[in-house]
């Protein structure tokens, strides 16, 4: 069990590190090929509405998203910092684990001003692949409401 918690810590650190260092292509490698990645506003989530801000049905879609972002973000320069935790292990067996982890993304604009950009929870189902955890299903439930254009960066 201890070993699984450590692997979870590792993959979450890697997740944050890749996004915050603008290594978004590397970030897509954390997902399995058939991975789902959704961002859903908490309001919709709590009402059972399936409307997502971002909905990717597999890794190819996640990659497309990043490609689009590389073009769009030319004019939206900012820095992200992810703070993640605490992490609840909801379910696990030898090769899979289901977790929930609170997250906070602090964004700094070009004037050097830092603000809470998004707060919410990650609900992630991970599978062990060659000794490392990979994301098979991830739902980001975002408390913070932002217009879709502003969440072009993955959360």
Binding residues vs its own copies (CB under 8 A): 1-3, 5-6, 9-10, 12-17, 20, 41-43, 79, 81-89, 100, 102, 104, 106, 108, 111-116, 118-121, 143-146
Q: Which is nearer to its own copies, 25 or 46 (CB)?
A: 46
Q: Which is nearer to its own copies, 34 or 143 (CB)?
A: 143
> 106 by DSSP, 3-state: which?
strand
- Inter-residue contact 87 to 8 (CB < 8 Å): yes
Q: How near is the Cβ of 122 to its own copies at its closest, in Å?
A: 11
| Helix or strand run (H / E) with residue 2 | helix 2-20
Contacts for 53 with CB less than 8 Å, ≥ 6 apart: 39, 40, 41, 142, 148, 151
Shortest Å, Cβ 101 to its own copies: 8
Task: Report in angstroms how near the CB of residue 15 gets to its own copies at its nearest.
Answer: 8
**60 vs 90, beta carbon nearer its own copies:** 90
How far is CA 10 from each of CA 6, 17, 131, 133, rounded to the nearest angstrom?
6, 10, 12, 9
Taking the complex as a whole, how short is the minimal distance between the CB of residue 114 and its own copies, in angstroms? 4
Q: Cβ closer to its own copies: 93 or 113? A: 113
As a whole number of angstroms, the distance between CA 42 and CA 120 comes to 8
């Amino acid at each position: 069990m201890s070993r699984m918690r450590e692997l979870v810590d590792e993959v979450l650190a890697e997740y944050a590190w890749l996004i915050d260092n603008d290594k978004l292509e590397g970030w897509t490698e954390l997902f399995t090929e058939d991975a789902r990645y959704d961002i859903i506003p908490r309001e919709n989530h709590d009402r059972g509405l399936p409307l997502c801000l971002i909905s990717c049905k597999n890794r190819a879609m996640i990659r497309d998203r990043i490609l689009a972002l590389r073009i769009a973000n030319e004019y939206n320069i900012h820095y992200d910092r992810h703070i993640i935790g605490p992490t609840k292990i909801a379910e696990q067996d030898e090769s899979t684990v289901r977790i929930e982890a609170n997250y906070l993304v602090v964004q700094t604009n070009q004037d050097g001003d830092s603000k809470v950009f998004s707060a919410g929870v990650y609900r992630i189902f991970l599978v062990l692949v060659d000794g490392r955890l990979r994301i098979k299903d991830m739902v980001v439930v975002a408390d913070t409401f932002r217009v879709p254009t502003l969440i072009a960066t993955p959360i």
